[in-house]
Chain A
Amino acid sequence: MPPLIDLSPSDLAALWLTLKLASVTTLLLLLVGVPMAWWLAFTRSRWRSVASAVVALPLVLPPTVIGFYLLLLMGPHGWVGQFTTWLGLGTLVFTFAGLVVGSALYSLPFVVQPLQNAFQAMGQRPLEAAATLGASPMDRFFTVALPLAKPGLLTATVLGFAHTVGEFGVVLMIGGNIPDKTRVVSVQLFDHVEAMAYPQAHGLAAVMVVFSFAVLWLLYRKRTEPLGGC
Chain B
Amino acid sequence: MSPPIELRAGLVRPGFSLDVNLSLPGAGVIAISGPSGSGKTTLLRWLAGLEPADTGFIRVNGATWEDTASRTCTPTHRRPIGYVFQEPSLFPHLTVAGNLAYGWRRLLPRQRTLSQAALCRTLGIDHLLARRPDGLSGGERQRVGFARALLREPRLLLMDEPLAALDTERKAEILPYLERLREDLAIPVIYVSHAAEEITRLADHLVLLDQGRVTASGPLNDLLTQLDLPLARSLDAGVVMEGQVTGYDTQWKLLHLSVGKGGVTLRVPHHERPVGSRLRVRVLARDVSLSLDAHSHSSILNRLPVVVGEQAGGEGLVDAIVALDCKGMPLLARLSRYSVAHLGLQPGMQAWAQIKGVAVLG
Interface residues, chain A, CB within 8 Å of chain B? 125-126, 128-137, 139-140, 143-144, 147-148
Q: Give the chain A neighbours of B76 by CB distance below 8 A.
A: 128, 131-132
- The answer to whether B48 and A132 have CB atoms under 8 Å apart is yes
Residues of A within 8 A of B93 (CB): 144, 147-148
The 21 sampled A-B contact pairs (Cβ below 8 Å) are A125-B85, A125-B87, A128-B76, A128-B83, A128-B85, A128-B89, A129-B85, A129-B90, A129-B91, A130-B77, A130-B102, A132-B103, A133-B103, A133-B149, A134-B78, A135-B77, A135-B106, A136-B77, A140-B77, A148-B91, A148-B93
Asked if B82 is at the interface (CB within 8 A of a chain A CB), the reply is yes
Q: How far is the CA of A140 from the CA of B78 in the complex (A)?
A: 13
A146: nearest residue on chain B (CB-CB)?
Answer: B93
What separation, in Å, do the CA atoms of A54 and B107 have in the docked complex? Answer: 43
Closest-CB distance, A148 to chain B (whole angstroms): 6
Chain A residue at minimum C-beta to C-beta distance from B49 = A131
B81 and A126 within 8 A (CB): no
Give CA–CA (A139, B102) in the complex, Å. Answer: 11
A135 to B103, CA, bound (A): 8
Alpha-carbon distance between A52 and B128 when the two chains are bound, in angstroms: 43
Nearest B residue (CB) for A133: B103
Do A128 and B50 have beta carbons less than 8 Å apart?
Answer: yes
Complex Cα spacing A113 to B268, Å:
66
Most chain B beta-carbon neighbours within 10 Å: one of A139, A143, A148: A143
What is the minimal beta-carbon distance from A218 to any residue of chain B, in angstroms? 22
Taking CB atoms, residues of chain B closer than 8 Å to A130 are 77, 91, 102
Q: Decide if A125 touches B89 in the complex (CB within 8 Å).
A: yes
A134 near B103: Cβ-Cβ < 8 Å: yes
Given the contacts A132-B149, A134-B106, A134-B152, A126 and B82 also touching, CB distance less than 8 Å = no
B103: chain A residues within 8 A (beta carbon): 132-134
User: How many angstroms from the CA of A166 to the CA of B49 in the assembled complex?
Assistant: 47
Supplied contacts A125-B87, A126-B91, 16 more A-B pairs, CB within 8 Å: A128-B50, A128-B76, A128-B89, A129-B83, A129-B85, A130-B91, A132-B48, A132-B77, A132-B83, A132-B103, A132-B149, A135-B102, A136-B77, A143-B102, A144-B91, A144-B93
Residue of A nearest to B84 (CB): A132
Q: How many whole Å from A124's CB to the nearest CB in chain B?
A: 9
